[in-house]
Amino acid sequence: MELGGECNINCSKTSYSANIVFHTKPFYGGKKPRITAEIFSPNNKKSFCSIEGEWNGVVYAKYTTGENTVFVDTKKLPIIKKKVRKLEDQNDYESLCLWKDITFNLKIRDIDAATEAKHRLEERQRAEAQERKEKEIQWETRLFHEDGECWVYDAPLLKRLGAVKHQAGKQKFTPDDQGKSSKLSNNLPLGEPITPFLLQWFLSQGYWTF
C-alpha cells in the first residue's frame, strides 16, 4: 500500500513553510517511492533548501549555498514501539478491546476467523446504533466535540503541552517518585507494528480506497 500526494506545512511561530510531495512508485519502471520538498523562509517565494530522496531510505538536502547534506537516513532511525494500557485497564469501547478478537486471529494468520470477528463487531455496532436511534438516545462522546461539520479533539497537543509545562513548574520530583514513574512506564505493554500481511488484510476489507 502506498499513500501519495502533496502537503504544505506552515509554522505560525517562525513563518517558515514547506511544500512536500510524496511520489508513489509508477506502474511501469522500477523507480522507488520518493519524497521531494521545497523549504521557504518568511516572505520569500524562492526556496533556500530542496529535499529529495526515498521516503523509506536516505533523504538529502541541497541548499542554495551549494551545500549538500544527508537530511535524514530512515534506516538509522530507532524504531519506537507504542505503549498502550493493558486490556483490563481500558474501557469497553476503546479500539483495542473492540478489535481484540480480530487482531488475535490476524496474528495467527487465520483470515477467515478475523473476517468473521470483524463482521460480528460491525453487526453489533449497527444494532446498537439502530437501538439508539429508535430510543432517541444521543451518543455521548468522551474525547471530541462537534464544531459545525467537524469533530474537534478536546485536548489538543498545544493545550496538553501547556498543562504539562505548568504542572512541571509547580511540582518537584524526588528520586523515589522518578523511580515509580519509570517502573510504571516499563510495565506498559508494547503495541504491535503493522506488517505487510496486516495491510493486505485491511485492504481486502475495504479500509482504504485509492
pLDDT of residue 176: 45
pLDDT of residue 205: 54
CA dist 71 and 8 (Å) reads 18
pLDDT of residue 175: 43
Angle 82-87-90 (CA atoms, 0-180°, nearest 5)?
Answer: 90
47-54 CB contacts, 8 Å cutoff, 24+ apart: 51/20
CB 14 within 8 A of CB 42: yes
CB 84 within 8 A of CB 51: no
Residue 150 bridge partners (DSSP): 147
**Looking at the whole model, is its pTM more than 0.75?**
no
**Cβ burial, residue 81 (10 Å; 0-12/13-18/19+):** exposed
How much of the chain is helix, strand and coil, in % rounded to 5?
A: 35, 25, 40
CA dist 101 and 201 (Å) reads 15
Burial 115-147 (b: 16+ CB within 10 A, else e): bebbeeeeeeeeeeeeeeeeeeeeeeeeeeeee
pLDDT of residue 102: 93
Angle of helix 100-107 relative to helix 196-204, nearest 10 degrees, comes to 130
Angle 202-191-210 (CA atoms, 0-180°, nearest 5)?
Answer: 25
Give the residue among 103, 72, 98, 66 at the shortest CA–CA distance from 191.
Answer: 103
CA dist 193 and 189 (Å) reads 13
| Domain boundaries along the sequence of the chain | 5-76, 87-140+172-204
DSSP classification of residue 48: S
- pLDDT per residue of the chain (210 residues) written in tens, 0 to 9: 566 788 888 888 888 999 999 888 777 766 778 899 999 999 888 999 999 998 888 999 999 999 999 999 988 988 888 888 888 888 888 888 999 999 999 999 999 999 999 999 999 999 999 999 999 998 888 888 888 888 888 887 777 777 655 555 555 544 444 343 333 333 333 344 445 555 555 555 554 433
pLDDT of residue 5: 85
- Report the sign of the C-alpha dihedral through residues 197, 203, 204, 206, in that order: positive
pLDDT of residue 169: 56
pLDDT of residue 58: 92
Angle 145-147-148 (CA atoms, 0-180°, nearest 5)?
Answer: 140
